[in-house]
Amino acid sequence: DGGVPSPQGKRSKRSPVPQSFEDAHTQRVIANVRERQRTQSLNDAFAELRKIIPTLPSDKLSKIQTLKLAARYIDFLYQVLQSDELDHKIASCNYLAHERLSYAFSVWRMEGAWSMSASH
């Protein structure tokens, strides 16, 4: 309730500030605009993330699925780096390296590593 905490840890009640209907309406409109902008920004960020992580043609990912898949992809990339299986000649070509990793990640997902742990 926006009051100041008292020494006992409870908030004191402030007397409501008289506000005209127009002022309250204007504040609500501004808050709605801010929320729409925040939501659009979040949706844009998820769209960018979906462009980066390799997906299967059948994927229609929710936001939580996108985050989980991104985390799995990061873990997969970490494992690839740790195992040093990436050919250094191919790694010098970013496009080929990305295609190879995308393919490997898709295979990794289809082999069950994704489906077995997707519910976690």
Q: Could you state, in order of their start, the residue ranges of all structural domains in the chain? A: 21-87+98-108
d(CA 7, CA 64): 41
Residue partners of 35: CB distance under 8 A and separation at least 6: none
The pLDDT profile of the chain, 120 residues, written as one tens digit per residue, is 455 555 555 655 665 666 788 899 999 999 999 999 999 999 999 999 998 888 877 888 899 999 999 998 888 888 777 776 555 545 555 666 667 777 777 777 776 654 444 444
How far apart, in whole angstroms, are the C-alpha atoms of residue 50 and residue 77?
16
- Kindly report whether the global pTM for this prediction surpasses the value 0.75: no
- Alpha-carbon distance of 116 to 120, in angstroms, equals 9
Nearest to residue 53, comparing CAs of 68, 41, 70? 70
| Structure tokens given for 118 | 């997707």
CATH architecture observed for domain 21-87+98-108? Irregular (4.10)
